[in-house]
Amino acid sequence: MPPMRAVIVDDEPLVRSGLRKLLANEPDVAVVGEARNGLDAVSVIAASAPDLVFLDVQMPGMDGFEVLARLPAASRPSIIFVTAFDEYAIRAFDVHAVDYLLKPFDAPRFRLALERVRARRATSEGRDDARWDALLSQLHRSAQFADRLLLKDDGSVVVVLVADINWIEAADNYVRVHTRASRHRVRQSIKTLESQLDPARFARSHRSAIVNLDRVRGLEPMAAGEYVILLSTGEKIPLSRGYRDRFRERLEGGGAKGA
C-alpha cells in the first residue's frame, strides 16, 4: 500500500518543523506539501491531492475552517486540526468526533490522532463528508452571532467577550451577567440577551437563567426530577424539570437544531 500523502498547514514555523520531525518516524506517511496560511493551503492541497492534512485553526486571513469549506467535498482528505486552546472549537470537535491536536502537543498525543486516521481509512468511516458538513454547519451558524456584547452597566457601556460569560440570571427588570472576572447588572430582559447568544453555546436552565455550556462540568440530581448544574467556576445553577431535557440535548451537541 502506498504511503499516506500528508500536507502540513500552520502559520508557526516551529509547529510545522515539529510535525515534520514526528512524521519522519512514520514510514506509512509522506509529507508532500506545506503551507503557512489558509490561502496557500487551498492551492497546495489542490495541487498535491493529499490523503491527510494537519490543519491549523487560527491563521491570519483565512482560518482552518474556511480552508475546509473551500475544499471540494468529493476530494476532501482526512483532517487533523491543530489548535491553540479554544473552548468552543474543542467542544465542536468532540461533538462531531473530529481529530485534533491541542498546542502544545506531545508525541503520544500526535500518534493517537494519527492512529485514529489510520483506523478510519481502514474502515467504511474513511470518508468524513458527513462529519465535516455537520461541523461546518455548526460553525457557520455560530458565525452569525457576535463574539462580544456591549452592555450598559450603571450608566457606563462595557464590552464583554461572549466567551468570558459564565452564566446569566434574571432579577426583576435587570439581568446579571456573570463573567470570568466580574459581574454586570444590565437593564435588559433575559429574552433579549438570549437572542444575541449562539444557542449551540448557551442554554436556559430555568426561566431566569442562561448557562454557558462550555462551563458545565456535571449535573447533580435533586428532588422531583430537578438537577443542579455544576460549573467549572464552582457555582451551582438550578436546572428545572421544564428545561431539563432541552438543556441536556444542548449539552450533548443538539443545540444546532434551534432555540
The string of pLDDT tens digits covering residues 145-190 is 667 788 888 778 888 888 899 999 998 889 999 999 899 999 888 9
E strand or H helix at 112? helix 107-121
Is 96 strand, coil or helix?
coil
Q: Which residues pair with 193 in a beta bridge?
A: none
* Mean pLDDT over each residue of the chain, to the nearest integer: 85
Q: In what order do the strands lie in the sheet with 236-239?
A: 216-221, 227-231, 236-239
The pTM assigned to this predicted structure is: 0.57
pLDDT at 257 over 50: no
- Spatial distance between the Cα atoms of 92 and 85, rounded to a whole number of angstroms: 13
Please list the residues that pair with 172 across neighbouring strands.
Answer: none
- In percent, the amount of the chain with pLDDT more than 90 equals 47
Instruction: Kindly tell me if the per-residue pLDDT of 96 is higher than 60.
Output: no
Q: Which domains does the chain have, with CATH numbers?
A: 4-143 (3.40.50.2300), 148-257 (2.40.50.1020)
- Least confident range from 75-84, 89-98, 222-231: namely 89-98
- Does residue 186 or residue 133 have the better pLDDT? 186
pLDDT value at position 33? 97
